[in-house]
Amino acid sequence: MTATTRAPGSADTAAVRRAISSTPRPARPGPLSAALTFGWRGMLKVKHVPEQLLDVTVTPVMFLLMFTYLFGGAIAGSTSAYLDYTLPGLLVMSVLFTTVYSGVGLNTDLTKGVVDRFRSLPIWRPAPLLGSLLGDSVRYVVAGTVIIVVGVALGFRPDGGFPGAVAALALVVVFSFGLSWVFSVLGLLMRTPNAVMNAGFMAIFPLTFLSNVFVDPATLPGPLEAFVDVNPISILATASRSLMAGDPDGGAILVSLAVAAALAAVFLPLTTRLYRSR
């Protein structure tokens, strides 16, 4: 190298030096403030990458249209009767599909190295995880709202009215908080975001179909019916249905909440441990 003139850098060295020297260190943020900041990050991602939201809302809307108009008459006698039956279940499907993205998002962060930066900050360690949950909850609510609105547009008029629909959505969102930790663990264990997505849907897809979301389990062969009856997704769909009908099924609601709590109790600590050691 025999460079005698240096290419002028466009970064202004004087300004860089000023920027470097002018930083009194503020006090560390509290745990809640840090988690909320990560929540804000989650919202920004929803804003910048709305395609993600599209993916998960389009599929259930497609199912809603297909099942209602193709099979509705055959299954329930009329499309409107079938819509009443299946919409609360499709709400469950729509929101649960969205939970897979909790794992996908976490895995994307890991592959991009941005997690390293977060982990090198003096902040409350679980803050990034809890914060992304906040961002996720926005996605859950949007996904759930879309399916309900489309349902109403197609003539869905539940007896529980608006409060019933809100209560059902709230229950499904709370359940999703519990379930999302399962996918977070998956997100920490697998190598690529795509692998997380595939594995996630491979699990959630059959579980959703082997439930009472689309058909009355009484019509199924015995062993299958037995499985469908104990599938937590069936129980959640039953609870959602009962809330929307304005006749809450306390047992199903309690079981749904208990399952969510159990999932969180097992997978949340596992997530934080894996996150720390990655």
Partner 1 sequence: MTTHTALAIEASGLVKTFGEERAVDGVDLAVPAGSIYGVLGPNGAGKTTTIRMLATLIQPDAGSARVLGHDIVTEADAVREAVSLTGQLASVDEDLTGRENLVLLGRLLGYSRGAARERADELLDAFDIAEAAGRLVKHYSGGMRRRLDIAASIVVTPRLMFLDEPTTGLDPRSRNQVWEIVRALVAEGTTILLCTQYLEEADQLANGIAVIDRGRVIAEGTPGHLKASVGTGSLHVRLLDPARRAEAAGILERTVGTVVLEPEPSALSATGADAERAAIGVAELARAGVPLADFSLQQPSLDEVFLALTGHAAEEAAAAEPSPSADTLQEHAS
The smaller minimum CB distance to partner 1, of residues 29 and 248, is found at: 29
Please name the residue that has the structure tokens 């008029």: 157
Shortest distance, CB of residue 223 to partner 1, whole angstroms? Answer: 43
Cβ at position 42, least distance to partner 1 in Å: 11
Q: Which is nearer to partner 1, 71 or 118 (CB)?
A: 118
Query: How many Å separate Cα 65 from the centre of its chain?
Result: 22
CB of 107 to partner 1, least distance (A): 14
Q: Which is nearer to partner 1, 18 or 157 (CB)?
A: 18
Q: What are the residues binding partner 1 (CB under 8 A)?
A: 1-2, 6-7, 9-13, 15-23, 25-29, 33-34, 37, 40-41, 44-45, 48-49, 109, 112-114, 116-123, 277
Token couple for 52: 């993600």
CA distance 188 to 145: 29
Closer residue to partner 1 (CB): 28 or 157:
28
Residue 44 or 62 having the CB closest to partner 1: 44
Report the nearest approach of partner 1 to the CB of residue 176 (Å).
22
In the complex, the smallest distance separating the C-beta of residue 189 from partner 1, rounded to whole angstroms, is: 16
CA distance 163 to 168: 9
